[in-house]
Structure 1
Amino acid sequence: MVDAAGVQWARFVGTWRVSPRSGALGEQGAHTGRRCDPVRAVATEKPPDGRNPALMADVVARPAAHEPDGVSEGRRPGTGDDARPVGRLRGALHHWYARPKAFVVGVLAIYFLARLFSAIVLTIVGTWQQDVTWITSEEHGYFRMTVLWDAFWYRQIVEDGYPAVMPQDPDSGRLWQNPWAFYPLFPYLTKFLMQLTGGGFAVVGSTLSLLVGAAAAVLIAILLRDRVGPRIAVAGVTLWATFMATPVLQVAYTESIATFLLCGVLYFLARQRWLAAGAVALLTGIARPIALPLGFVGVVCVFFRWRNRAKCPVSVGEWVRMFTALVCCGLSGLMWPALAWLGTGVPTAYTDTMAAWRAVPEIQPFQPWWNLFRWMIGATVGGGPVVAALALALLVVVTFGLVLGPWARALGPELRAWSFGYSLYLFASLDPSTSIFRYMIMQFPLAVVLLGAGWRPPRPIPGVDAPEGPGGSTVADVHDRRLWWVLAAGVVLNLVLQYWWVDVIWHFTPPADTPP
């Protein structure tokens, strides 16, 4: 008898072994009156030998133990090249990530090794970090480096909450920077855990970020595995976990929680679990201002589901659930501005506060990028507006070309829509600064593209693993040797840049410095 809990676990971490041509967003199977579930579609198909399909569910969701990744059917390990010691070692190395639990453990090991390196760098740089008001006398060594910059504001929210009166300059009347710019999920969750454990802000806040970041890494790996296979997914997570700004995943910042919730929304949208996606989207409304790009992803997912209605008709109930998910994405963008209004009595409290961080006291979509390029080109090469426009156009083409080109096709519509929508959102809302490196942490799908593993050939390539999960795309046309060389070079570059980021960007030199 199949253990029901085991089947659910297999569905969550091991759903790649289903029909190789099944697509994302419900292209599997015939209409059954429920959402097109890839595991159910294959597990409930009557096998030719008449066995009970219910008893085969976890077998379908789990790769065969005798098939290492990249070994075709009908060929037994231990024969041919695999009979040599090098071949056996290679087969063993390839085999571990084909097992769902080992896959998760491996991803966690990679993540924590990357965070160990970051902790060493933070500790080293912390030896020449000057004492500033952000650091208390109880915080020493590694932990004093976890409370810099915006962590000060989160500590203030933990200790004093949000101000009921908007602070203003008494002379100019201009609004001062204040805690209403920072979303409440992370500081209040930190406060709850501090009261529960008795720990200080630095220890609890940084540990919370570290652990939630680990959960985000697992979700990222699952999202990538469903589209490009476990081998490329592990490589992608490795490149992401060592990215220059990822030390922020272990300090008192919101990047970990925001990335975790984002991956949760993408995970549920890809599996057409519309209500669950909407519920998680609502949580992002008190964690990070990413409602606009998330709403764009939701619209794209609904469009692809509608386009696939001939293969899997959309019921009235599913239309209601899809509409509910889109409404939740919209509401998540309104929640915090509405709460700031209620907390201060000022309808524009949130937007006014955000404008206080800008060079000009108002939000100007896209304009800051043009101002930066016009100044930068003029100051460096002496070029005029035409040269600045060409440079900015080149940046736009490269940024969106990474997502829209055929080299990203294997990512599927959900991840491509997210990367496109998030890039557009950053261009529209961000004043370009050194904070852009930190914002790029949520662009994890680009790791696959940068590895050259996002191509989607018309048919599987012999000798290379092919994902067979809800993502439905075949593996990228990347050979082992080239992939691992590219990955090794990327990791080394990331670690070098990570030291630079901590020393130059995260390290604070009073009285003012470039923000992370």
Structure 2
Amino acid sequence: MAERRLRTAASVAGTVAAVYVSARLVTTLFFWIAAELSGPTSRFGPDATIGSLAMGWDSQWYWVIADQGYPSTLPVGENGQVTENAWAFLPLFPWLARALGTALGGYPAGAVILAIVAGYAASVVFFVLLRDRIGETASLWAVVFFANGPIAAMFQMGYSESLGLLWLFLALWALLRRRFGWMYPIIVLMGFTRPGVLAFALLLGLYGSYRWIRRREDPLPVGHVVHIVALGALATIVGFAWQAIAGIVTGDPSAYLDTELAWRRSWVGSEEQFVPFAGFVKAAGVWFGIWGLPPVLGVVVLVILVLGAAAVLARSRQVRRLGPEIRLWGVSYLVYLLAVFFPQSSTFRLLLPLSPVAAAVAVPRSLWWRGGVLVLCLAGQWLWIHEMLALGDTFFRIP
């Protein structure tokens, strides 16, 4: 039995590796073309290389954290308001990348290799997470779409996305298998890698409610109740821990929120305090105003999109096959984004944690359908790389 499990695990690891490596070769080709197209107006200049693209944009902030740490005094502008600084980024990725970089000749190598390896590990867990729900073939296609998706450049840039996805997929896998003990360390790792652990706290609350409602069909032991409540409390504490740490180090209790608000002031001007759910409403008006359309129309479109997402999560046959845990994760993460995020050009990147829900597109068995989805993924990936890296010259080309 153990030998058969080992062979199965090796087969899965090898098959996913073949998919993942081929996807990274395609992305590398796209990077090379983008570097050749980069010109004097691009952020990367006419001398761009694959390496400089891989360490572009927010990768630089992680490098600053690895090299200098976090500021004990918040930087402020001429108006006295906090400006953009490292406190907006969590520490686990740059710390691990710095440690890996000591053996690989420098931080950039450590950051990119960590992103690539974590992306592969996330792909393996992604396959295992989906296999029992949609079958091996559909799960492998889901990995193909995931590894080649529109934002697949993240898997070989110095960003924390792939590491964050690894922890998320492991946590969802543990929840599906009801291996609650494994989730305690995973939640802590998740909470110090990428923002979003509060969405997982909401998931645990919804999951606990779902299990309670169905306790006659699916018994809910006391031990499960204790774990669900404890894990939800842990996720909530970890979700606010970084704010507390930033406040203690800088002596300013609002250091983290002020830092986050600094990133959106270029869009909305002065914003004195964070108001949940206000970001999307403001952004809808801002974007539609930029496009020369009535700002109120943006709010209408936002409502339609929210209702559409709710309908897909509730009614789509393909999404329902993924199971209640993944569907509840989709609800939780979308509510989290609506509550805290100001949508701009990085919106697509922030949708990556919805990959388990998006795996529903792999369920239809038609080869034409799956081939068409793959073509759209690759086209979207090239478009993203071209806009954000080859051009990268204006406010809507910031990943």
**TM-score (norm. length: structure 2):** 0.90
Show the 5 A alignment for 1:13-92: none
- 1:144 and 2:67 matched: no
- Cα distance in 2, alignment partners of residues 375 and 343 from structure 1: 35
Deviations 1:195-235 (A, max 9, x none): 2x042222211111000000001111111112111111111
8 A Cα contact 1:282 1:331, kept in partner: no
Once superposed, what is the RMSD of the aligned Cα atoms? 2.7
Deviation at 1:150, TM superposition (A): 0.4
Matched position secondary structure for 1:431: coil
Cα pair distance change 1:150/1:384, threshold 3 Å: closer
Query: Is 1:409 the equivalent of 2:317?
Result: no
Q: Which amino acid aligns with 1:232?
A: A
Q: Deviations over 1:300-321 (max 9, x none)?
A: 3323443454466544444333
How far residue 434 of structure 1 moved from its aligned partner, in angstroms, is 1.3
Q: Please say if 1:175 is aligned against 2:82.
A: yes
Partner of 2:101: 194
Aligned residue runs from structure 1 range 75-474, under 5 A = 99-129=8-38, 141-169=49-77, 171-195=78-102, 197-310=103-216, 313-359=219-265, 360-361=270-271, 362-377=273-288, 380=291, 382-383=293-294, 385=296, 387-407=297-317, 408-451=319-362, 453=363
Q: How far is 1:140 from its partner?
A: 7.2
Task: Describe the superposition over 1:374-421 as per-residue Cα deviations: whole angstroms up to 9, x where unpaired.
Answer: 354456575473x44432222112222222223221111111011111
Per-residue CA deviations over 1:459-482 (Å, capped at 9, x if unaligned) read xxxxxxxxxxxxxxxxxxx4x4x2
Please give the alpha-carbon distance, in whole angstroms, between the structure 1 residues aligned to 2:224 and 2:332: 25
What amino acid does structure 2 have at the position aligned with 1:101?
A: A
The letter for the 2-side match of 1:343 is V
Q: What displacement does 1:299 show?
A: 1.9
Q: Closer, same or farther in 2 for the Cα pair 1:394/1:340, shift >3 Å?
A: same
> Following TM superposition, by how much is the alpha carbon of 1:365 offset from its aligned partner in structure 2, in angstroms?
2.9
Q: Which deviates the most, 122-131 or 291-300?
A: 122-131
Gap regions ≥5 residues in structure 1:
11-61, 63-98, 454-477
Give the letter for the 1:205 counterpart.
A
Aligned to 2:383: 500
Is the aligned partner of 1:489 residue 2:397? no
Distance in 1 between residues matched to 2:395 and 2:215, nearest whole Å:
57
The equivalent residue for 1:70 is none
- Change in 2 beyond 3 A, CA 1:413/1:131: same
For residues 258-294 of structure 1, the C-alpha deviation after alignment (integer angstroms, 9 at most, x for no partner) is: 1000111111111112221122111111111112210
Aligned residue type for 1:211 = V
Q: For residues 420-450 of structure 1, what are the alpha-carbon distances to aligned partners after superposition, in whole Å with 9 as ceiling and x for unaligned?
A: 1111211221111110111122111233333
AA of the residue aligned to 1:431: F
Residue 127 of structure 1: SS of its match in structure 2?
helix
Q: Give the Cα–Cα distance (whole angstroms) in 1 for the partners of residues 107 and 51 of structure 2.
A: 10
SS at match of 1:445: helix
**One-letter amino acid of the structure 2 residue matched with residue 116 of structure 1:** L
Deviations 1:219-254 (A, max 9, x none): 111111121111111111111221111111111001
1-structure distance, mates of 2:276, 2:142: 32
Quote how far apart the aligned CAs of 1:104 are.
Answer: 3.1
1:334–1:204 distance in 2 versus 1, CA, 3 Å: same
Task: Flag the 1:383–1:307 CA change in 2: closer, same or farther, 3 A.
Answer: closer
The structure-2 alpha-carbon separation of the partners of 1:378 and 1:250, relative to structure 1 and needing over 3 Å to count, comes to: closer
Kindly provide the amino acid, as one letter, of the partner of residue 401 in structure 1. Answer: A
Percent identity of equivalent pairs:
28
Contact 2:277 2:339 in 1 (8 A): yes
Larger Rg: 1
The one-letter code sitting in structure 1 at the alignment partner of 2:38 is Q
Q: Could you tell me the TM-score, scaled by structure 1's length?
A: 0.70
Deviations 1:119-160 (A, max 9, x none): 111122112435899989xx9732111111001111111111
Shift of the alpha carbon at 1:188?
0.5
